[in-house]
Amino acid sequence: MTRYKNINGERIAFTTEEETARDNEEAAAIAEKAATKYARERRSGTATTTGYISLENQLDQLYRDMKSGKLGVGATTGEWYVGITSVKTAFPKP
C-alpha cells in the first residue's frame, strides 16, 4: 500500500527508498515495544493484574518486614518479597 506525504498542501507518494526507510522504522518501533512490554506492565499493571506499588509503599513494607524480624531466608515470606515476586511472576522477562 502506497504511503503519501503532504508537502505544501500537495499529496505526494513516498519514493521506494522512503517506503523502505519507513518500514524499517516501524519494524524497529514494534520490536522495541515488544521488548519492553514486560517492563511497562510491571510498572502499571494490566486490566486484570496490578503492577508494582509505589516506592514509598514498598519501603514501608520492607520496614515492617524488618521490624517483624523477616530477614535472611525468612524474608521470602515477607509482604515486600511476596508482592514483588507476584508481579515478576505475572510479567516475566522475555
Using one digit for the tens of pLDDT, what is the confidence trace for 31-88? 999 888 888 888 888 877 888 999 999 999 999 999 999 988 889 999 999 999 999 9
CB 44 within 8 A of CB 52: no
Q: How far apart are CA 37 and CA 92, in angstroms?
A: 10
Which residue segment(s) compose the domain that 82 sits in?
4-90
Q: 13 forms bridges with which residues in the sheet?
A: 4
- Total domains in the chain come to 1
What pLDDT is attached to residue 18?
Answer: 93
For the chain, first and last CA: distance in Å?
A: 32
23 backbone φψ class: left, alpha, beta (φ>0; ψ -120 to 50): alpha
What does the pLDDT read at residue 44?
A: 86
